Structures are given as structure tokens and as C-alpha cells.
Amino acid sequence: MSEDRPERADQTGKPPAADTAGAGATGAPLLELANASKYYGSVIALKDVSTSVRAGEVTCVLGDNGAGKSTLIKLLSGVVRPDEGEVLLDGRPAGFANPRAALDAGVATVHQDLAMIPLMAVWRNFFLGSEPTKGWGPLRRFDVAAARRITREQLAAMGIDIRDPDQPVGTLSGGERQSVAIARAVYFGARVLILDEPTSALGVKQAGTVLRYIARARDQGLGVVFITHNPHHAYPVGDRFLLLKRGRSLGDFAKSEITLPEVTRLMAGGSELDDLAHELERA
């Protein structure tokens, strides 16, 4: 492990303890987007978008393709910075220089491709880039036994039943791979977990498995950002809903302020959908 890269685990494989005091304990937002805008030349990717993520809650970001969901992920995870507005962490400007800085601050992003190597074992992927070591100096080496043990323990703690941690991760179902990625982020001290369309390519049963693990991460006190275009996946686990359309916010609602039919109607275009339905009616 290089000396200029922050270690994510000590020699026993145990990550630094997450700081759970402060924002999450008082109910204040862990992570906020405040009137954020992002432009690419003349293209408006996001315009005046605000939302918040609290400990023990799921903030769902919904919108069709081109709504600005990917840009929002990039702002929250430190890939790009807003041209207007700001990203706040614990009420202070975050100023993430890059995704590593965001990760070190406890903001972990699970992308659709999951950043896993299919032919490597589950336990090897669990610690990819953050391997526990034993020994000192030139005798320092990867602690394989600890990696296997910790992987099995952490997956079990999340309620994930992997048949064999030595099996290649590519042999797992899509839902199982997503659950491993979630458990990995939780273990390495994430306070905010950003999930990029985790159910988009999954069947009904596998999507249900992922939603169950999202709820478990929420119940462990994490703030979760669930990016999706499917309101039927978002509404059961969501506590707050940000709806985007063409880079602009259609509203940021608590669950008590909006129903599933209303979420679906706003995403479908509201009056535009009514006009289409009228047009398609048989004479």
C-alpha cells in the first residue's frame, strides 16, 4: 500500500471508526446540495437544485434519462464541482477535490458497474484496493485469512447469505453483487451511501433483494441517496423524494407530502400524460 494514499483499514482489517456524532445525532443533514447548478457550455445539466440527506433516511432522486441524475451524483461524490451553489457536509462547504476525498469523508458511491472484477473471489473484491495486511516493513503482506473472515462476518451482519466467499464474484446474481458492494461501503466507514440505479437491470425478485439491503443500511444509521427512474422501487424505502426533469427540480418532498401516484404522475409529465391519454383514446 503506497504511503501517500490514506489507508482504509489497519493491519487487522478493521477500518477507521465512522464519526456518528454531530449532524446525524441531531437530525441535521449529513450531506446537502444547496441551489446547485452545473453547465457544460450552453447545456444546462442542473439548475438551482437543492436536497438533503440525513442519517437513517433514504433520499430518492427520480427522473428519466437526461433529467440530471448523473450530474447530481458527480456533484455529491466529488467528480465535478458546482458552477453555482454548493455541496455541504455537516453544514459546512465540502469542497471535495476528487472522489477519493469524498470517500475519505465518508461519502461512498456504488456505481452501476460496481467496480468489481468478475473472475476474482468475493472476498478479494470486498477488499479490492484496501487490503488488510500483517507483518512489518519488507515482510508486510496481504492477510488473506483476515480478509476471508471479515468478508464472511460483514456479509452475515447485513443478512447476506453468500454460499462461498471463495467463488468468483461474476457467478453471483445481479442483486447479490449489489448487496456485496453495499456491505463493502458500510464496512469501510461510509456515512452517506450513493446508489446509482442499483435496480435498473434486475428482475423483480433481485430488485426486492437490493431494496431490502438499502433498508438495512438505512436502519444502521447511514444516509442513503437512491438514484432511480422507477417510483415503484423508490417509494417503499424512500423518506424524501427529489424529482428532476431536464436538469431542474420538480420538487423536493417528504414522504408525508406526496403519494406514489403523485410521484408517478410528476415523472410521467402530469398534464402532458393527460393530453397523450386523450389523444390515444378510441373514438
**Is a pLDDT exceeding 70 seen at residue 274?**
no
Q: What DSSP string describes 216-263?
A: HHHHTT-EEEEEES-HHHHHHH-SEEEEEETTEEEEEEEGGG--HHHH
What's the pLDDT band for 83 if we cut at 50, 70, 90?
very high
Q: Where are the domains of the chain?
A: 30-119+189-280
- Looking at residue 38, what is its pLDDT? 95
**Chain-wide mean pLDDT for the chain?**
83
Given a cut of 80, is residue 159 above it in pLDDT? no
**Structural domain 30-119+189-280, CATH architecture:** 3-Layer(aba) Sandwich (3.40)
24 vs 43, higher pLDDT:
43
Q: pTM of the full predicted structure?
A: 0.80
Q: What are 106's three cell numbers?
A: 465518508
Looking at the DSSP bridge assignments, the partners of residue 228 are 62
Q: Nearest 10 degrees: CA dihedral of 118, 119, 122, 128?
A: -80
Q: Among 88-92, 96-100, 196-200, 276-280, which is the least confidently predicted range?
A: 276-280
